[in-house]
Every structure is written in structure tokens, then in C-alpha cells.
Amino acid sequence: MKELFKHKTALFSLSIIATLIFLALFAPYIALYDPFEIRVDQILLPPSLKHPFGTDLLGRDVFSRVIYATRISLEVSLVAVGISVTIGTFLGALAGFLGGIVDLIICRFIDIMLCFPTIFLILAVVAYLEPSILTIMIVIGITSWMGVARLVRAEILSLKERDFILAAKLYGASTFRIIFKHLLPNALPPILVSASLGMGHAILIESALSFLGIGVQPPIPSWGNILIEGKETLEIAWWLSVIPGLAILVTVLAFTLLGESLQEILNPKKEK
């Protein structure tokens, strides 16, 4: 934690993420208007003091909708990354520790999953199922665990030959205890880095799916479906595209910078 708070890039990214979490938690108090309220007399108003981010095609306040969309993006990314990290960590730990036929089967399964372009696999699954926030969370999670599994497997392969693991085996520790008590806590750094980078990736995927119309469904606000509204009125209502686009850019950048900072801080070979 001391290294983290000394790292300028990490502090910068954490401040952005903390702001986003604050906006998500207190959205009802920060939003100026009801994000679902339609006002036909205020259609496509430009940014002003009354409407800081302007209004959309139905006269809804874009500022309020962007604030509420922050909730959706963080919720989807958090749950999706939780699913992917859980699956990837479990399979990667089993493959690395048990080795042999178990390692072979899991590695081949990972290779098969990696052969499919992720975005097309997600599109196929989402198109088959009914679009909803829960569906998006699960689909992103179960199609994004392969990188985590490979990282954890490599780390476990390195750790399992260490003296403290051999000592645990000599004392009769069970496989479950060795994996979850000794190996995984020491393999935490790459998992944290992967989770941080995965948050940004999940937000991009969710925004892309919502932009294509098979993600978060209107009237629920999402950065992606606000963008698709702006696509039709780009020449006369630039704010509908620029503002949610900047929100996606800043959020993904913050999580990416945090992941890179964690990788640098947690690197055991880093010079102190």
C-alpha cells in the first residue's frame, strides 16, 4: 500500500475510479433530473447551465443519464470480472498444481476458447439469449477467463517447486489447503493486475454491445446506448456522442493505468 500511494500514475487512476464509484453510489442525489423523464419541449438542447450535457432526442437530460450509466458500467464490469477471475483462477491453479492429464485437458480447452474471436462469441451468445444486464455480465465473464487461467497456471508452476510448498507436502497438507492457503495468496499479484485490466475490457465490451443494440436495453441508460442515439444526430447534437465517448475513454484509461501500475509495483524484480 505504501508503494501504491507513492506511485503517481496509480494515484491518478485511483482518484478517477474513486470519483466514478462516488458518482455511481450517489447518482440519485447528483443527477439533476429523472433520467427516464421525457420532455418533448426540450429535445436536443445544447449544453447549458440548466442541462450541463444537453438533452437527447426525447428531451431527457444527458448529464443525469450519463451519471446513472456509470452505475451500469461499473456493475457489469465488476460482476463480469469476478466471474472471469474466479473461473480462470480455479482452472489455472488446478492445471498448474496437478499437472499431467489435468493440465493437458485444461490447456487444450483454453486453446480452443482462444481460437474463437471473443467479440463474435459474445455476439452469438447474446443474440441467442434474451438481452439483459444479467446476461451481459455472465456472457462477458465466461468468455474472458482464459488470460487469467494462463497467468495463474504459469505462476503456480513456478511456485509449486518452492521450499515452503515442499514443506507443506511433507507435513501432509491436502491439495486443497496447499492451493488455497499457500499457492493462491502468493499468486495474487498477476491476478490483481489481470482483474484491473479486465475491468476496462468489460466496460468496452458492454458499451460495444449496447451500441449494437444487444446489450443494456433502453430506457435503462448505458454509455453505449447513449452513443447510438448520438450516431443519428452527430451533425446537430455532438454532445450525445462526445460525452459518453469521453466517459468510456476516461474509465477504461483509469483501469488500464491502474493495472500497469500494479504490475510495476508488485513486480518482485523491481528495484527498490
CATH of the domain at 167: 1.10.3720.10
For 113-141, write each residue's pLDDT tens digit: 888 777 777 777 777 777 778 888 888 88
Q: Is residue 250 a part of any domain in this protein?
A: no
Closest-CA residue to 60 (of 209, 214, 239, 235): 239
Domain extent for 94: 72-223
| Cβ-Cβ contacts under 8 Å for 129 (sequence gap 6 or more) | 135, 139
Q: Is residue 163 a part of any domain in this protein?
A: yes
Count how many domains the chain has: 1
Rounded distance, CA 216 to CA 227, Å? 12
Q: Is residue 32 a part of any domain in this protein?
A: no
Q: Is residue 248 a part of any domain in this protein?
A: no
Query: Cβ(60)–Cβ(36) under 8 Å?
Result: yes
What is the model's pTM? Answer: 0.86
Alpha helices (H) along 213-271: 223-231, 239-266
Q: Is residue 208 a part of any domain in this protein?
A: yes
Cell numbers linked to 110:
483454453
For 7-44, write each residue's pLDDT tens digit: 888 899 999 999 999 999 999 999 989 999 888 888 88
* 183 DSSP 8-state letter: I
Q: Is residue 37 a part of any domain in this protein?
A: no
Q: Is residue 149 a part of any domain in this protein?
A: yes
Q: Is the pLDDT of residue 210 over 50?
A: yes
Q: Is the pLDDT of residue 272 over 70?
A: no
The mean predicted confidence, pLDDT, of the chain is 86
From residue 237, give the alpha-carbon distance in Å to each of 46, 53, 86.
7, 11, 42
Dihedral sign, CA of 5, 10, 16, 20? negative
Dihedral sign, CA of 89, 93, 96, 98? negative
Q: Is residue 211 a part of any domain in this protein?
A: yes
Question: In angstroms, how far is the first alpha carbon of the chain from the final one?
Answer: 14
Query: Cβ(87)–Cβ(141) under 8 Å?
Result: yes
